[in-house]
Structure 1
């Protein structure tokens, strides 16, 4: 599907004039093109973005990770939106927002996940949490219909989240 992306914006030029590093500008452009693509109904992967930005996919990945860490957001890339890979990052962020009492629509907006996906993650997290300690992981997997690997991810996440005092941030 053809889309229009902003590769150079007035904000980029302003950042350059104000002495921003090339890396800072490239991170801003990376964030922008992923969001612009999603706004037009297209989900980019890191290879797509690397071809557009004329850099390596690993470079795009680095920019994405840095922006996500610095801004406490999720960049809407294909891996996150289509739940690809073994990462629990999206689950962790969604659960963390729930524990901070954010609403489901706000969690969806912040993580670029559908309301249905957010509901599923939170439902699965809570089901595993209720059964944890009463049954072994294999029995939890059987009872919930989740894979053993996914149950173990949620068990690790529960342990991690229960050990933290979660503060609501902006």
Structure 2
């Protein structure tokens, strides 16, 4: 009987549960596993680039591109078992480069994906201990503000950062409107003395906000001109001028006036109009035309 037939007969005669003995003839070369080892994400992308996209250049360049793609996958889809309850995986923007310009896209900045401390156990406990009535309303306001400050500061202090979020990002994280987030941030800036940078705040003003930004933040928080002058130590003429110009530009945007037409209509410098547009985007993102930049708030 040929060896192959004897092997088949032996296999048929083997009783259930009897171990399979692999002799010399049964061992396999490591070469047999090469194909299995190559069925990877990297190889699949490499094949896609070479076949479907016709990228037939340097193999080394393609391998580097694949490695970068793998890095992006690792960044945007971190393993969920590493994330504690209450942390949210979300992509922010790295604080780098100079002042943004109208029309600049989010893709023009470096993105960083982190797990953010959105709802921690102590937040749940504080919610459970919340008093009723008017005291509870004030406590809830403080509860939201504490979480907001923690999220913003976490990004600012992160090793890959500072990593910034927009008002819209924070709104989605906390379940608040962008106006509520803006008001809470303005109050927190007054309480802490810290800039608490959002993306729009940073790319418009840099790390240190201008007098204009501080005045408008206080104004949007509901303070009148006299209170703003007392609290910020600003000159009365500056406070009045900044607020009036801010409202004039805001009215133009609300009426649908293109940004590039506002400067000549109001007889203002284009750079000044851009500053006000950025501040309006910080506090009233719904007024900013798509082509100007919801990305920058």
TM exceeds 0.5?
Answer: no
Per the normalisation by structure 2, the TM-score is 0.26
Tell me which protein shows more strand as a share of its residues: 2
Larger Rg: 2
Per the normalisation by structure 1, the TM-score is 0.43
